[in-house]
Each structure stands twice: as structure tokens, then as C-alpha cells.
Amino acid sequence: MSYILRPLSELCERSIVSTQPSKAPDNEFWYIDISAVDNAIKQITRPQRTIGKVASVRARQVVHHNDVIVSTTRPNLNAVAIVPRELHGNICSTGFCVLRCGAELEADYLFLYVQSGLFINALTRLVQGALYPAVTDKQVLSQAIPWLPLDQQRRVAFKLKTQFEEVETARKALASQRQEIINLGYAYIRASIEQSDTSEFRLGDVLDEVKKGIGENWADYPVLGATRDGLAPAREPPGKQPQRYKPVFAGTVFYNPMRILIGSIAYVDDNDQPGITSPDYVALQGKAGKVDSRWFYYWLRSPYGVQCINSLARGAVRERMLFNRLAEGAIRLPPYREQLRVSKALAQLQPLKAAVQRQLDDLNKIPERLLALAFNPGAKE
């Protein structure tokens, strides 16, 4: 195929309607902000139902079915999505550049292009060294897309979507295997509680918070993060005061206090590489003889932990659960020896989960390679 590089500004309409919800204070609508987009699956998963009088001041852009929205903040994270039919006529944040295809551009083709390394890397280069990593709508629209006639765009999009569906089928199968392993861990926790003589404790009495920063040798350690899947490399390098980053070594549980309600909790196991994490995160360890850290980690992610966390939540839009609030929660603990026995069984699950995760990681790289091939101007069909 012979591509022509054309800027998006030539191919996208600029008829995006700007609105002011406060002028219709009682009107309900779905609001799409950055947090509503899942950048892993490139979908709008959590739009907020709101009304004009309490809407965000950034709720300004009326979106249409098949609009492609691109987050202009932290373009390296590639928070992009295509607007589904059911959200037509609703409102998105000014933190998105809204791309609406003109007569010479196919929406599915555009949506696949904005997920490609060609697009992501071009935007990321624009914010390197910037204090606030954001691009403008003008910069997004200046990006050149490898353009083809519409019939060829549709062929490329159909082929890629078919390949992506095959990858997704395999991904779901592996994710199901991983979830079965996780559920087995939760079953161990449940059995240890239900089949033992338990005692109730305040969490603050059985946990120690890790408060002290790593110090001057921070560069010796990788930066770790907590996701809904557990331990993961952090997305961002250390900030201005890396010495304040907290050590998270073997036996440490840590979580993002702004995302604990959705399960962003991690544990550094014996075979994991020790690291450091953001000073804004909460890091903790079980007190010796009181609670085993691995047992507690599985408990915290289990339905028992979810129930405890929810009982401590205050219903704020941006819930922040620091250690002092978590410490007020209650936990039923089996005898320490029983915790250690179960902890050994839980440790045996880690290699199984890691093996499945490696397969998932390899699988997740395939779409990127397919996109690189499809949108390489020198690629052959």
C-alpha cells in the first residue's frame, strides 16, 4: 500500500460544540473525564452521571458517536477511546482533544492510528522535559496520519480488528487462569478464618507503617507501583525528592491511597526484586507474631478486605485512605501459626501466577507490533 502522510487537521472536522452545563442546572448527562477512560483496553468504562449545577468546570465538549477522544495530559499513557453510540450527545472534559472524522477518514482507522507507537511517540516527544506533561489540541491535530483511500482504510481497520479480537480471546483465557489462581488464594484465607478460633483486632494494633524514605541510595532500586493486578513497575520516574521514596522490600504491602477502593494494592514477595515507591503511597508490614504480611495481603484483596475498606470509606468523590484511617478497621485473625501455614501455601501460588502473567505480558505486546506494521509508511500489505 502507498500511504500519504496528512495532518489530522486536514481530515478532522472542527465543529465540536462547546457547552456550559451550569446554564441548565437540572439537566442530567454522562460526563467523561480522564478517569472514565481505561487506557489498558482503550474504552470509556466509568463515565459519571451528573447534573449541570454540580458539573466540573471542564465539562464543556459535546461528543458524538464515533468521535475519537485523546487525553492531552501525559500522552505516553495513551488514554484514548472511541465514543460508543450510547454516549452520543453527552459531554467530555476539555482534557481531551476530540477528533471527529471528516469525509476522507474512517473512524475505526483513526482510532487504531491513535493507539500506534507512531502517534504516541510523536506526542510524548513534545512534552519531554516539560514541568506539566500535556499537549494542546493544535499539537494533536498537527500529527500526520498515514492516509489511504477510504476502501483501503476499511480493509486495514477490519484486518487489525480481527487480529485484535483473536488476541483478546487468548487474553481472556489467560486472565481466567490467573483469576482461578487468585480465587484459590482467597479460598485459603476464608478457610483459615472459618475453620480456626479467631480473635478480632484493630488493624493499627497488628500493622506497622513504613514511613522513612530510602535515603541517598534511591537510585539503586527500581520504582514500583500498585495496580489492580498487584505489583508492577511504576509508570513515572522518581520526582524531585527521590530520597523520600519509601523502601518496599520483601514482606511489604503497599497501596495507592487514592485507588485502594478499586484494588490498587501490591505485595513484594520473597522472589520479587525489592524497590521503592512513591512517598504518597501507604506501605506497611505485619507485626511479628501478630499477622503474617503475605497472609494479610491476600486478606486485604479478598472479599473480607474489600468489605473492611468499604466500611471505612466516607463517600468522597476522591477518596483518600491513609494509614491512620485504615488502622481503624477491624480484622479477625486466626492463630499466627495457622497464618504461617496458609502463607506457605499462598507462596506456592506465586510462581503459577507469575508464569501466567509472563504469557499475558507477551500477548499484550502483540497489538503494538501489529499497529507498528500497519502504520509504517514503508510497510507492505
pLDDT the model gives residue 317: 54
Q: What is the pLDDT of residues 308-326, one digit of tens each?
A: 999 999 876 567 899 999 9
Same domain? 214 vs 238: yes
Of residues 311, 288, 276, 273, the one with CA closest to residue 208:
288
Does residue 153 sit in helix, strand or coil? Answer: helix
Report pLDDT digits (tens) over 80-101.
Answer: 999 999 999 999 999 999 999 9
Domain annotation covers residue 94: yes
The angle subtended at Cα 70 by Cα 65 and Cα 73, nearest 5°, is 145
Same domain, 215 and 321: yes
Check: CB of residue 296 under 8 Å from CB of residue 254: no
Residue 11 near residue 149, CB atoms below 8 Å: no
Average pLDDT rounded to a whole number, residues 55-76: 96
- Residue 118 reports pLDDT greater than 90: yes
In a domain, 103, yes or no: yes
Per-residue pLDDT, 381: 46
Regarding whether 244 and 285 lie in a shared domain, the answer is yes
- Inside any domain, residue 186: no
DSSP state of 218: G
> Same domain, yes or no, for 236 and 171?
no
Smallest CA-to-CA distance from 12 within 94, 75, 67, 89 is with 67
The per-residue pLDDT for 262 is: 84
Report pLDDT digits (tens) over 262-302.
889 999 999 999 999 999 999 999 999 999 999 999 999 99
144 and 9 fall within a common domain: yes
Q: What would the pLDDT profile of 13-50 be if each residue is shown by its tens digit?
A: 998 999 999 999 999 999 999 999 999 899 999 999 99
Determine, yes or no, domain membership for 190.
no
In this structure, what C-alpha cell is assigned to residue 127?
512534552
As for how many domains the chain has, the answer is 3
For the chain, percent of residues with pLDDT exceeding 90: 88
Q: What is the mean pLDDT of the chain?
A: 94
How buried is 237 (Cβ within 10 angstroms: 0-12 exposed, 13-18 middle, 19+ buried)? exposed
Continuous segment of H or E residues that includes residue 168: helix 150-194
- In this structure, the answer to whether residues 228 and 118 fall within a common structural domain is no
Residues 137 and 154 in one domain: no
DSSP state of 24: S
Is residue 81 domain-shared with residue 126, that is, in the same domain?
A: yes
Least confident of 125-134, 244-253, 333-342: 125-134
Query: Do both 122 and 255 map to the same domain?
Result: no
Q: Provide mean pLDDT across the span 160-166.
A: 96
Confidence of residue 2 (pLDDT cuts 50, 70, 90): confident
**What's the CATH code of the domain at 124?**
3.90.220.20
> Which helix (H) or strand (E) element contains residue 49?
strand 48-51
Residue 161 lies in a domain: yes
Residues 6 or more apart whose CB falls under 8 angstroms from that of 314 comprise: none
Q: What amino acid occupies position 221?
A: Y
| Cell 527521590 found at | 242
C-alpha cell at 43: 474504552
Does any domain span residue 22? yes
> Which residue range(s) make up the domain with 232?
199-333
**Residue 333 half-sphere exposure toward CB, CA atoms < 13 A:** 24
End-of-domain residue from the set 106, 132, 148: 148
- Determine the pLDDT at residue 90: 98
| Beta bridge mates, 225 | 232
297 and 329 part of one domain: yes
Q: Give per-residue pLDDT as tens, 124-151.
A: 999 987 778 999 999 999 999 999 999 9
Say what the pLDDT of residue 318 is.
Answer: 65
Same domain (yes/no): 342, 293: no
Instruction: With beta carbons less than 8 A apart as the criterion, state whether 196 and 340 touch.
Output: no
Region 336-347: mean pLDDT is 97
62 occurs within a structural domain: yes
Element (H, E) at 266: strand 265-268
Measured CA to CA, the distance from residue 257 to residue 244 in angstroms comes to 17
**Between 293-301 and 303-312, two packed helices, what is the crossing angle to 10 degrees?**
70
Q: Are residues 278 and 353 in the same domain?
A: no
* Residues ≥6 apart with Cβ < 8 Å to 229: 357
Residue 194 lies in a domain: no
